[in-house]
Every structure is written in C-alpha cells, then in structure tokens.
Amino acid sequence: RNNQGAMDAGFQGMGELAPALRELRATLRSLNQFTHRLEQDPTGTLFGNETMKEMAQ
C-alpha cells in the first residue's frame, strides 16, 4: 500500500517509454540505411547523383 503511488508512477513512465523506444528504433534504422548508402557510394550519397553528372560534363 505504501508503494502504490511509486508503482503507479513507474507504470505510467513505462507507458511513455514505448513511443520513445519506437522512435529510437526508427531513427537507428534510418541511420543504418544512410551508413550503408554512404559505404556503397560516398560521393553520390553526400552530393547526390545530379552533382556528379554536372561535374562529368
């Protein structure tokens, strides 16, 4: 009984943590995809393919 308030607050905090964890996973997924593209094509990833076409002409 004495800990009911603390437990309620803890459970509420856990509920608020779920959306933050989903956002973190999505951010890490995007960062992983960007890193993969950067490894495969550093110049194209950083400057875009249009820039490279202009330089080639």
pLDDT digits (tens, 9 = 90+) for 8-54: 787 777 888 889 999 999 999 999 999 999 999 999 999 987 655 55
| Domain residue limits, the chain | 4-56
Q: How far is CA 13 from the centre of its chain?
A: 21
Task: Provide the H-helix boundaries in the chain.
Answer: 4-40, 42-56
pLDDT the model gives residue 27: 98
pLDDT the model gives residue 50: 63
pLDDT the model gives residue 53: 55
Is the pTM for the entire model greater than 0.85? no
